Amino acid sequence: MVGNILGTEITNLIKNGSDVYMAIAVANAHGLWFSATWAYALPFAFIGITIITYLFYAFRDMNRLLRLAKREMKKETEKAIAKLQVRTLRTGDPEVDSEDTSCVVCTDSFTRNEQVTVLPCRHLYHKKCIEPWLLEHATCPMCKNNIFKSKIDEERDEPSSSSSPSNNSFCLATVMTVTSADQHNTLDSNIQTAESE
């Protein structure tokens, strides 16, 4: 196939009077890029590139959603940790200098004037030890009790002050009217009764 640059060079040689010899061969009617191999390979290449692109964006979006979920979970865990009971141990407390009780995270005994965190399952830990643990696991190191599950159970057990009974309630009453000794008329009606608080 003779392109523009090669054609210009051949034309210049002919104008200068040079002898130019060319071999003419029959080429493919569809050009250099069309062959049976390309005809079969091109659709698979297109499908492959499409699948790879789709998977790339799917994994990227999935990772983004996972990072957002982790961030939200960490915020919720920090809120739950902030609501846990923290107390300072005093000399008379049974946990102070006792060989039976110690912080399971660092395995040190509790001493006077240390801040400890009390989990909903009533296990004690040093505040500085348990907070990093809870940020990673959100469970008690000893009993594996989830601090969120305990919070939900406590909320469920507490009676809600906002859920007061409705002022109006409806009851179904049957009213029977006797008109004679042999006949009875029965009337079903809805009677609205107001409950007083």
**Structural domains of the chain ordered from first start:** 78-156 (3.30.40.10)
Beta strand pairing call for 115-118 and 85-88: antiparallel
pLDDT value of position 61: 96
pLDDT value of position 191: 40
User: Please, which residues bridge with residue 139 across strands?
Assistant: 146
pLDDT value of position 149: 72
Comparing CA positions, the residue from 42, 38, 7, 39 lying closest to residue 22 is: 7
Residue spans of alpha helices (H) in the chain: 4-15, 36-83, 127-137, 147-157
Q: Which two tokens stand for residue 195?
A: 């409950």
pLDDT value of position 158: 54
- CB burial string 168-180: b at 16+ within 10 A, e below: eeeeeeeeeeeee
Per-run averaged pLDDT (10 residues), the chain, 197 residues:
82 88 72 69 93 97 95 88 85 74 80 84 85 84 79 53 45 46 41 39
Task: Look up residue 159 and give its amino acid.
Answer: P
59, 51 in Cβ contact below 8 A? no
Comparing CA positions, the residue from 187, 188, 191, 186 lying closest to residue 171 is: 191
